[in-house]
Amino acid sequence: MTTPSPTDLRARAQALRLNGLLAHWAQVLNAPWVAQLLDWEEAERARRSMERRVRRASIGNFKPLVDFDWTWPTRCDRQAIEELMGLEFMAEAANVILFGPNGVGKSTLARNLAYQALIGGHTVLFASAGTLLGDLAAIDSASALSRRLRHYAGFDLLCIDEVGYLSYSNRHADLLFELTNRRYEKKSTLITTNRAFAQWHEVFPNAACVVSLVDRLTHNAEVIAIEGKSYRLKEAQARAAQRALRRKRKPS
């Protein structure tokens, strides 16, 4: 292992703003514990930073990608998903759209991508479309709304889950368009939806901005279609079969 130079050690101490240590730098420069102290401080700050960002991201519990059943969907581009885990799309401020019916794993994959972005040091927020748009639509003050839009626009990765499960008003559509427009070609947005884009007029009935909204979301985006039956339904049926078997085995 290469021994860090005094210049490197001092730069690390300055980055950590260890002013007390720096004030006595001449006395401690050659002390063998300085490098270890800096290692401990950097590791602890990284851990606390990760904890804060995980709490703020609101990803919730999820099945890790290593446990994802790739054989269950009848269509799912595993290679494309694994390439996205490298986070190159974020360097390009590209979007990701995961499209498919209920229960095929869209939200699980989105949560894994969100967590990977957190590990990569990025700021992330995971929210359902209903929660996010409801929050924005409830704000009456123009200045407060502008601040809230800046809040959502500021995350390196914004994950909007379950677009298409509910229908929304024109105001909701306009707010989503405004948020998308603020993030366009600046930050990455991840969308999960059970509706084809041609059906988004049903999600946002009579909204004039739908075409422009879809245009901005899909420009420079990775669109991955997932097909298959509901995995949640499969698990529910398996649990029901296990319960029936246990009841059958019970002595009468």
**What is the percent of the chain with per-residue pLDDT over 90, rounded to a whole number?**
60
Q: How many alpha carbons lie under 13 Å from residue 78 in its C-beta half-sphere?
A: 9
Question: Are both 144 and 83 inside the same structural domain?
Answer: yes
* Together in a domain, 52 and 91: no
How much is the average pLDDT of 37-44?
88
Neighbours of 78 (CB within 10 A): 12
**218 and 94 both lie in a single domain:** yes
Same-domain check for residues 82 and 25: no
Question: Does any domain span residue 244?
Answer: no
- Is 46 in the same domain as 71? no
| pLDDT for 2 beyond 80 | no
249 belongs to a structural domain: no
150 and 194 inside one domain: yes
Across the range 98-119, mean pLDDT stands at 94
Q: Are residues 136 and 229 in the same domain?
A: yes
> How far is it, in rounded angstroms, from Cα 28 to Cα 26?
6
- Of the listed ranges 153-157, 202-206, 242-246, the least confidently predicted one is 242-246
**Are 74 and 194 within one domain?**
yes
- Strand 157-163 to 188-193 pairing: parallel
In a domain, 251, yes or no: no
Q: Break the chain down into helix, strand, coil percent, rounded to 5.
A: 55, 10, 30
Q: Does one domain contain both 100 and 128?
A: yes
Q: What is the pTM of this model?
A: 0.79
Residue range of the domain that includes 116: 65-233
Residues 42 and 150 in one domain: no
Q: Is the pLDDT of residue 1 over 70?
A: no
pLDDT at residue 241 is higher than 80: no
Quick one: pLDDT band at residue 252, thresholds 50, 70, 90? low
* Residue 119 amino acid letter: I
Q: How confident is the model at residue 162 (pLDDT cuts 50, 70, 90)?
A: very high
Pair 202, 195: CB distance under 8 Å: yes
Q: Which two tokens stand for residue 42?
A: 């950097």
Q: Give the count of domains, the chain.
A: 2
Tokens representing 94 are: 């590209």
Mean of per-residue pLDDT scores for the chain: 90
